[in-house]
Structure 1
Amino acid sequence: MSTVLVIGVGDLGERLAAGLAGNPAVGRLLLAGRSVPAVAAAATTVLSSHDCLVEPVRLDALRVEDVASLLATSRPDLVVQCASRRSPWELVGRDDPAARAVAAAGIALRLPYQLAVPHALMRAAREAGFSGPIANLSLPDVTGPVLAALGLAPTIGLGNASVIQLRARAAWRATHPDAAKAPLIRVIGHHAHVYGVMQADPPTDPDHRCRIYVDEQGNRDDDLAYQAPGLAPGQRYNHVTAAAALPVLAALLPDAPPLRWSAPAPHGLPGGYPVRIHNRTVALDLPPGVTAEEAIAFNQRMSNGDGVDHITAAGTVHFTPACQEAVADIAPELAEPLPIDEIDTRAARLDDVLRN
Structure 2
Amino acid sequence: MTCDILLSGTGSFAARILFDIAATAQRPVKVVIAGRNRERLDWLKVAANARASIFGRPARFESHEIDLLTEGAATTLIEATRPKVTVQAASIQTSSVIAQTGNAWTRLVAEGGLSATAVFQALITKRVAEAITGLSHETALVNCCFPDVVNGMIAALGHEVACGMGNVAILSNVFAGSGAVPDGKRLKVLAHYQNLGAWRRPAASRSGPAPRVWLDEAEIGDVFATFASVKLTPEPVIDISGASGVPMLLAMAQDGGWTGHVPGPGGLPGGYPVSLAGRRLVLDLPKGLSEAEAIAWNGVFEARDGLVAERDGRVRYTGKLHDGLRAHSAELAEGFQMREIEDVCRAMLELRTRLSTTA
TM-score by length of 2: 0.88
Q: Is 1:117 aligned to 2:149, yes or no?
A: no
Distance in 2 between the 1:38 and 1:99 partners? 27
Q: Deviations over 1:38-73 (max 9, x none)?
A: 222222221222243321211222346322232223
Q: Indicate the residue corresponding to 2:352 in structure 1.
A: 351
Q: Deviations over 1:154-205 (max 9, x none)?
A: 111111111110122133x2x46xx5x3521111111111222344658635
- Alignment: residue pair count: 345
Contact 2:148 / 2:193 at 8 angstroms: preserved in 1?
Answer: yes
Contact 1:64 / 1:121 at 8 angstroms: preserved in 2?
Answer: no
The one-letter code sitting in structure 1 at the alignment partner of 2:199 is V
Alpha-carbon spacing, 1:200–1:125, altered in 2? closer, same or farther (3 Å): farther
Distance in 2 between the 1:331 and 1:317 partners? 16
Contact 2:153 / 2:309 at 8 angstroms: preserved in 1?
Answer: yes
Q: Indicate the residue corresponding to 2:231 in structure 1.
A: 230
Distance in 2 between the 1:15 and 1:328 partners? 37
Alpha-carbon spacing, 1:63–1:222, altered in 2? closer, same or farther (3 Å): farther
The counterpart of 2:142, out of the listed 135, 138, 163, is 135
Distance in 2 between the 1:243 and 1:88 partners? 16
Distance in 1 between the 2:260 and 2:286 partners? 12
Contact 2:7 / 2:31 at 8 angstroms: preserved in 1?
Answer: yes
Q: Runs of 4+ in structure 1 displaced over 6 angstroms?
A: none
The counterpart of 2:337, out of the listed 328, 336, 339, is 339
Q: Deviations over 1:116-162 (max 9, x none)?
A: 01101100101222112121110001011111111113111111111
The one-letter code sitting in structure 1 at the alignment partner of 2:270 is G
Contact 1:7 / 1:83 at 8 angstroms: preserved in 2?
Answer: yes
Q: Indicate the residue corresponding to 1:317 in structure 2.
A: 315
Q: Indicate the residue corresponding to 1:10 in structure 2.
A: 11
Alpha-carbon spacing, 1:222–1:277, altered in 2? closer, same or farther (3 Å): farther
The counterpart of 2:110, out of the listed 103, 114, 118, is 103
The one-letter code sitting in structure 1 at the alignment partner of 2:110 is A
Query: Helix, strand or coil: the match of 1:123?
Result: helix
1:169-184 residue pairs with structure 2 within 5 A?
A: 169-171=176-178, 173=179, 175=180, 181-184=183-186
Alpha-carbon spacing, 1:194–1:306, altered in 2? closer, same or farther (3 Å): farther
Q: Is 1:188 aligned to 2:190, yes or no?
A: yes
Q: Deviations over 1:87-118 (max 9, x none)?
A: 02136333123421333111101112100011
What is the CA-CA distance between 1:344 and the residue it aligns to? 2.5
Q: Which runs of 5+ in 1 are unaligned?
A: none
Contact 2:5 / 2:86 at 8 angstroms: preserved in 1?
Answer: yes
Alpha-carbon spacing, 1:354–1:214, altered in 2? closer, same or farther (3 Å): same
What is the CA-CA distance between 1:334 and the residue it aligns to? 4.1
The one-letter code sitting in structure 2 at the alignment partner of 1:193 is N
Q: Indicate the residue corresponding to 1:77 in structure 2.
A: 84
Alpha-carbon spacing, 1:187–1:354, altered in 2? closer, same or farther (3 Å): same
Q: Indicate the residue corresponding to 2:248 in structure 1.
A: 248
Q: Deviations over 1:208-250 (max 9, x none)?
A: 22111111x3433451674233233114x11111232222212
Distance in 1 between the 2:324 and 2:246 partners? 36
Distance in 2 between the 1:188 and 1:64 partners? 38
Distance in 2 between the 1:314 and 1:34 partners? 34
Contact 2:304 / 2:319 at 8 angstroms: preserved in 1?
Answer: no
Distance in 1 between the 2:206 and 2:313 partners? 29
Q: Which moved more, 1:107-116 or 1:90-99?
A: 90-99
Q: Deviations over 1:262-301 (max 9, x none)?
A: 1111111111111011221111111111111111111110
Alpha-carbon spacing, 1:61–1:200, altered in 2? closer, same or farther (3 Å): farther
- Cα RMSD of the aligned pairs, angstroms, is 2.4
Alpha-carbon spacing, 1:123–1:2, altered in 2? closer, same or farther (3 Å): closer
The one-letter code sitting in structure 2 at the alignment partner of 1:337 is G
Q: Indicate the residue corresponding to 2:207 in structure 1.
A: 204
Contact 1:6 / 1:29 at 8 angstroms: preserved in 2?
Answer: yes
Q: Indicate the residue corresponding to 1:239 in structure 2.
A: 239
Q: Is 1:283 aligned to 2:282, yes or no?
A: yes
The one-letter code sitting in structure 2 at the alignment partner of 1:147 is I
Q: Which moved more, 1:132-141 or 1:345-354?
A: 345-354
Distance in 2 between the 1:76 and 1:329 partners? 44
Distance in 1 between the 2:155 and 2:206 partners? 29
Contact 1:67 / 1:124 at 8 angstroms: preserved in 2?
Answer: yes
Contact 2:305 / 2:319 at 8 angstroms: preserved in 1?
Answer: no
Query: Helix, strand or coil: the match of 2:348?
Result: helix
